[in-house]
Structure 1
Amino acid sequence: MKYPLIDKELFVLNRLNYINKLKGNSIAIFNANDEFPRSGDQNFIFKQNSDLFYLSGIDQEQTILLLYPDCPNPAYREVLFLRQTNDHTAIWEGHKYTKDQARLTSGIQNVYWLGEFWNILPTIINYADNIYLNTNENDRAVGVVKYRDLRFIEEMRYKYPLHKYERSAPILRILRSKKSPIEIELTRKACSITRDAFIRILKFVKPGVKEYEIEAEIIHEFIRQGATGHAYNPIIASGKNANILHYNDNNQVCKNGEVILFDFAAEYANYNADLSRSIPVNGRFTQRQRDVYNAVLRVFKEAKKMIVAGTIWNDYHDEVGKIMESELIGLGLLDKHDVSKQNPKMPLYKKYFMHGTSHHLGIDVHDFASRYQPFEAGNILTCEPGIYIQEEGLGIRLENDILITADGNIDLMADIPLEPEEIEEIMNS
């Protein structure tokens, strides 16, 4: 792993918080993610199941976590099952956890090789009343692949049909959204690396550079500083490409007079940053570009003020929409008389600002949380308004990551250049 060992107390506390919400005499089981084929004999780079990592800190394929706090045999109340390494694996794939390393990482003392799972489970599961299993219940997920958790559920129901089955996801939806001090520091590190990458590209961009050359500068800085890599596929969208919200081609030439919309960030120790910025290719905004930029910036600043404990998700987004509406009228993109007659369920501002302003951030970029729960201290949310003008080939989005505390909020990206004058100054220094 590229990152230093995380304090195991994070995972010890996470497990304690989780088991305290289980029904009595319950067993819970978590699986690592699948290793997905890329082509031929290759797999995609492995990405750990977020819930398993949250509860154990184990960042390796073919892992199972078993929690049974009321188990009559104390040896099986907290158990980790790992892929067994050997000389062949070490030569072809490199390092895998030893049992001692897994104990040090997770704080779990009872560690077995994966081959022991189906020997141990039958000796204890019949003493449990409830079985908690996990699935991906992220609101944004669109599942078409039958992943490991779903296959495991089928196997468990076939072997143990008379147990009562429960969902782990509702518990984790509550727990994962509230970040601990260690998680906040890991997120700060991801934000810091992202900042340095942005400063690097401010000094690199000029007319004629290709979008993928900029992407190369970003990943250079990420890897140089020990990030795992990109938190998500980076968007390097120059000119009209900025109007494609999930533009990932990154293969065009950045032309004089255009604005580049960036949406990129580092992943560090499985925790993510999320940044958006918009900069002029030639180092100077035109007056129109500056006007649109400042309109987005004003919406950003007002929206950020509302990211505090107690804010209701839908009310927040409705209020941001009203602020954006006013800015679009000021830019001549909307007519106030048309706005007064609009269908409230289909507001006109959506033509130029069609996505939400915020999402939770953590182990997942779009982190697991409830959209119906008021914001609370410990949440980290993005703030990312944008204006996209197809007919002008111009798109501006600005995004920082905001931590809510009991005393207000903290912008974790406050040290990343945001004001247009600061961006121009660095680009022309």
Structure 2
Amino acid sequence: MKYDPIDPNLFIKNRKKLSGRMRPGAIAIVNSSDIMPTSADGTMPFKQDASFFYLSGIDQEESILLVAPDFPNESYKEILFLKETSELIAIWEGHKYTKEEATQTSGIKTVMWLDQFENVLNTILAETATIYLDSNEHIRNSSQVETRTDRFNKWLKKVYPLHEIERLAPILTDLRSVKEEQEIEMIQKACDITEKGFRKVLKTLKPGIGEYEVEAEYAYEFLRNRASGFAFEPIMASGANACVLHYLDNNQICKDGDLILMDVAACYGNYNADMTRVLPVNGRFTHRQKEVYNAVLRVKNYATELLSPGGTIQEYHEAVGEFMTEQLIGLGLLNKKEIENQDPKYPLYKKYFMHGTSHHLGINVHDVASIYKRFEPGMVMTVEPGIYIREEGIGIRLEDDIVITSDKPINLMKNIPIEVEEIEDLMNS
């Protein structure tokens, strides 16, 4: 791992919160991610399962966490199972956790090799009626790939068909939606690294540069600052490409007079930032570009102030939509008569602002949370309104990462330039 060690008290606290939500006498089992194949003998970079990392801090494949808070044997209340390393593995793959290192990382005192799992599980389940199993229940999940967790769940239900199975995802979804202070610090670190990349681009962007070169500047700054890499596939969309919401080609040349929309952020310690900024390729916004840009900025600032305890996503989006409508009227894109006759179920502002304003942020970029859960202090949300005028070839989205508090929201990206005048001054200094 490139990142600095994380205080294990975070994971100890997370497991304690989980134990407090479980039924008396129940156990929970969580698996690490697979190493995913590409083709031939290739593999993708390893990305740890979010639930497993949240509870253990272990960043290694072929691992299992078992939590049994009420089990009579004290040493079996928390067990971490790891693949046993060897000299051959060390030569070909590098260092793996020792038992002592795993304890230091996770705070779990009982660490065993994976080949002991089935025997230990059999012992524990002889005294257990209920098993909590994890699954990917994110409402936007559409993957057809069978994960290690999926395979394990099938195996366990087959081998232990008479035990009662409970869903772990609703508990972890609720817990993960409110961040501990340490988690917010990790997200802040990812934001700070993202800022370094952005400031580098402010100095290097000019007509004739490739979108891919802009992406490369971010990659360099992220890696040299110990980030794991990009939090997600970066979007470097110049000109009309910015009107494609998930533009990923990043292969065009940035032209004089165009804008470039950059939706990009760093991942640090498995916690993610999520930033969007828009820059004039030649260092100066045109009058129309500035008009649209400032309209989006006003919506972003307005939406940020709405993030306070007690609100809901639905109420929030409706309020932002109404304010966005006013901005679109001011830009001459909509008129009041059209608005009076619009279908409330399909508001006209969605022609120019077709995505949501915010999502939860954390170990997942689109972090887990119920859309019906009211806002609470400690939630971390993006705020990312946009206006996309395809007929003018202008697409502008601005995005910051916000912590909800009992007082005013805290902007984790407050130091990343966003005002038109500051951007132009920095690009031309």
TM-score bracket for this pair, using the shorter chain length? over 0.9
**Corresponding residue for residue 210 of structure 1:** 210
Instruction: Report 1:279-428 matches (<5 A).
Output: 279-428=279-428
Given that 1:279 and 1:423 are in contact with CA atoms closer than 8 Å, whether structure 2 keeps it comes out as yes
* 1:108 lines up with 2:108 in the alignment: yes
Q: Give, in whole Å, the separation in 2 of the partners of 1:191 and 1:124.
A: 43
Q: Which 4+ residue blocks in structure 1 deviate beyond 6 angstroms?
A: none
In structure 2, distance between residues paired with 1:180 and 1:309: 16
SS at match of 1:333: coil
Aligned with 1:38: secondary structure?
coil
Q: CA deviation at 1:27?
A: 1.0
Give secondary structure in 1 for the equivalent of 2:38.
strand
Q: Which whole-Å CA distance do the structure 2 matches of 1:325 and 1:261 have between them? A: 22
Cross-structure match for 2:63 = 63
Q: Distance in 2 between matches of 1:415 and 1:362?
A: 20
Root-mean-square deviation over aligned CA pairs: 0.7
Deviations, residues 76-126 of structure 1 (Å, cap 9, x unaligned)? 110000111111111111111010000000000100111111121111112
Query: How far apart, in 1, do the equivalents of 2:398 and 2:428 lie?
Result: 21
CA deviation map 1:329-377 (0-9, x unaligned): 1111112111110000001110100000000000000001111011100
Q: Counterparts of 1:354 and 1:341 in 2: how far apart (Å)? A: 19
Aligned to 1:252: 252
Once residues 265 and 254 of structure 1 are traced to their aligned partners in structure 2, the CA distance between those partners, rounded to angstroms, is: 20
Identity value in percent = 55
How many aligned residue pairs are there? 429
Per-residue CA deviations over 1:283-305 (Å, capped at 9, x if unaligned) read 00000000000000111111100
- 2:290 is paired with a residue whose SS is helix
* Contact 1:309–1:408 under 8 Å retained in 2: no
| Alignment-mate amino acid for residue 64 of structure 2 | I
Give the C-alpha shift of residue 150 in structure 1. Answer: 1.5
Question: Which letter maps to 1:64?
Answer: I
Secondary structure of the residue that 2:373 maps to in structure 1?
A: coil
Where does residue 188 of structure 1 map in the other structure? Answer: 188
Equivalent pair of 1:358/1:381 in contact (CA under 8 Å): yes
* C-alpha deviation, 1:146, in angstroms: 1.6
Which residue of structure 1 aligns with residue 83 of structure 2? 83
SS of the residue 1:357 aligns to: coil
Deviations 1:18-39 (A, max 9, x none): 0110001101100011211112
Bigger shift: 119-128 or 93-102? 119-128
In structure 2, distance between residues paired with 1:308 and 1:139: 24
Q: Distance in 1 between matches of 2:366 and 2:232?
A: 10
Residues 205 and 214 of structure 1 are in contact (CA less than 8 Å); yes or no, is this contact kept in structure 2? yes
5+ residue gaps, structure 1, are none
Distance in 2 (alpha carbons) for counterparts of 1:199 and 1:193: 10
Q: Distance in 1 between matches of 2:326 and 2:145?
A: 43
3-state SS of 2:236 partner: strand
Asked if the contact 1:29/1:67 (under 8 Å) is kept, the reply is yes
Distance 1:427 1:84 in 2: 53
Structure 1 residue 73: Cα displacement: 2.2
**3-state DSSP class of the match of 2:333?**
coil
Q: Which secondary structure does the structure 2 equivalent of 1:136 belong to?
A: coil
| SS state at 1:203 partner | helix
Deviation string 1:129-165 (CA, Å, 9 cap, x unpaired) is: 1000000111221121121212111111111111110
Which amino acid is 2:69 matched to? P
2:177 is matched by which residue type in structure 1? S
- Which runs of 5 or more structure 2 residues have no equivalent in the other structure? none
- Deviation (angstroms), 1:408: 2.1
What is the TM-score normalised by the length of structure 2? 0.99
Q: What residue number does 1:135 align with?
A: 135
| CA deviation vs aligned residue, 1:316-341 (integer Å, no higher than 9, x gap) | 00010011111111111112111110
Q: How does 1:156-235 map to 2 (within 5 A)?
A: 156-235=156-235
Question: Hey, what's the Cα distance between the residues in 2 that align with 1:150 and 1:386?
Answer: 37
